[in-house]
């Protein structure tokens, strides 16, 4: 029986033989390349990093938060950034992509429209009116928000309808409704293309 060293010598001889044979084949056929274990490891590492990179690129892309242009309310013209009470839901979404609270069809509990409570701006598309609240983030011309009820006559004249905490003024575009707090200062504005007889507000 052969001893272990002899076996090792035999294996070494076989490896040497095969190495020589591969070398001879490579000389005869230059296109044949012998891939070593080191090359295999390097290629595996490269593929691993490449896969990780593309995985991060695919699943880790940054998402840009939709932003809106500065809000500008024109009280006398009856619009917000040239959007009117009759503007469609799609037109409002296109102009103000940051307003993500959208109700396409009215339900028993909510009116249809595009809304942003945080920015104090509401478009009631089915009822054809725009509402601006006291936390509105934008410019109002003229600057009515917070104005005293007693200072409005020179600008708007007499209201068509009035109540304890609101006045409704007839305008060229329809109706302007102003609401007042306990100090008789404006805290909410509604612009509508409808008259006081046909206007239906959302509760």
The number of residues in the chain equals: 203
| Number of helices and strands in the chain (H, E) | 4, 11
Q: Hey, where are the domains in the chain?
A: 4-59, 71-192
In terms of DSSP bridges, do strands 121-124 and 129-133 run parallel, antiparallel, or are they unpaired? antiparallel
C-alpha distance from residue 124 to each of 49, 75, 114, 129 (Å)? 53, 17, 7, 5
pLDDT at 98: 94
Is residue 138 within 8 A of residue 70, CB to CB? The reply is yes
Closest CA to 152 of 179, 172, 122: 179
Highest mean pLDDT among 1-10, 23-32, 159-168 belongs to 159-168
Q: How many CB atoms lie within 10 A of CB 161?
A: 13
Question: Does the structure show a pLDDT above 70 at 195?
Answer: yes
pLDDT at 46: 63
Q: What global pTM score does this model have?
A: 0.70
pLDDT in tens, 63-77: 888 899 999 999 999
Q: State phi, psi for 128 to the nearest 5 degrees.
A: 60, 50
């Amino acid at each position: 029986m052969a001893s272990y060293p002899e076996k090792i010598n035999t294996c070494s001889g076989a490896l040497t033989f095969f190495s020589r044979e591969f070398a001879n084949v490579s000389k005869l056929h230059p296109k044949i390349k012998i891939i070593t274990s080191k090359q295999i490891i390097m290629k595996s590492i490269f593929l691993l990093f490449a896969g990780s990179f593309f995985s991060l690129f695919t699943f880790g892309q940054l998402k840009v938060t939709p932003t809106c242009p500065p809000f500008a309310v024109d009280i006398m013209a009856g619009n917000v950034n040239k959007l009117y009470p009759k503007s469609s839901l799609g037109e409002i979404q296109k102009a103000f992509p940051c307003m993500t609270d959208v109700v396409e069809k009215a339900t028993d509990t909510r009116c249809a429209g595009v809304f942003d409570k945080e920015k104090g701006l509401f478009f009631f598309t089915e009822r054809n009116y725009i509402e601006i609240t006291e936390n509105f983030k934008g410019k109002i011309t003229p600057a009515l928000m917070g104005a005293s009820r007693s200072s409005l006559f020179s600008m708007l004249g007499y209201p068509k309808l009035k109540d304890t905490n609101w006045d409704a003024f007839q305008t060229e575009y329809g109706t302007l409704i102003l609401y007042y707090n306990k100090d008789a200062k404006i805290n909410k504005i509604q612009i509508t293309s409808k008259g006081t007889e046909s206007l239906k507000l959302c509760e």
